[in-house]
Amino acid sequence: MLPKIASVTTSVIDHPGRVSLVIFLPYCNYNCIACHNRELVEGKFEEVPLEELLWGLERNSLIDMLIISGGEPTIYGDSLLELIKILRIKRGDLPIRVDTNGSLPKVMKIIADYIDGFALDVKAPPLRREMYERIIRREFDLESFMEAVETASGLPYTIFRTVRYPWLREEDIGEIREFLSRYGGGKPHIINPYFEPEH
């Protein structure tokens, strides 16, 4: 069964230099402090029918990228791959990026052959497990995360993303930068400002 689609929006800020159609999938395997998609993660959404998405997609000449975001898209495994294949058939002219927290590298490996990039969140210095786990409120597996970074860094449209959370010190951001300069394959590292969630 295909993943449910929780919402769809056009964005000029999600990928540098691109007008993207962002498709949001619900639910996540993390429970981050200050998650900005809490409603989505908790499954509070009105489903967008796939037919409606595909109808709009065919007629949208403004966009030059597709982004599958969430929630955490990789929790859907093979169903995510099915959705990607459908999008590919509809708009084979557009690069596809998948946003991920990097917790399911095996799924990332499977879909990597069908997409053009990942946006991989690096929420804290990955070598500081306790700090990472305080943010995601789940277990953090460094070995899996390293696999995720390796897979992501091999694709042309990959970016790494960090939110400048108030509890990250300048030296923590520096550690993340250093980590990515060593393992990130030279892909861009975008540091986004922190905004207090509304709820």
**Where on the chain is the footprint of ligand SF4 (CB under 6 A)?**
28, 30-32, 35, 37, 41, 70-72, 101
Local structure of 97: helix, strand or coil: strand
Shorter beta-carbon distance to ligand SF4: residue 10 or 192: 192
Amino acid at 102: G
Shorter beta-carbon distance to ligand SF4: residue 101 or 151: 101
Residue 125 neighbours by CB under 8 Å, 6+ apart: 131, 132, 172, 175, 176, 179
Shorter beta-carbon distance to ligand SF4: residue 72 or 175: 72
Residue 169 neighbours by CB under 8 Å, 6+ apart: none
73 near 99, Cβ under 8 Å? Answer: yes
C-alpha 61/C-alpha 110 separation (Å) is: 29
Shorter beta-carbon distance to ligand SF4: residue 91 or 101: 101
Shorter beta-carbon distance to ligand SF4: residue 38 or 88: 38
Task: Give me the sheet containing 159-163, strands edge to edge.
Answer: 7-11, 20-24, 65-69, 96-100, 117-121, 159-163, 189-192
Q: How far is the CB of 57 from ligand SF4 (least distance, A)?
A: 23
Q: How far is the CB of 90 from ligand SF4 (least distance, A)?
A: 26
DSSP for 160-198?
EEEE--TTS-HHHHHHHHHHHHHHSTT--EEEEPP----
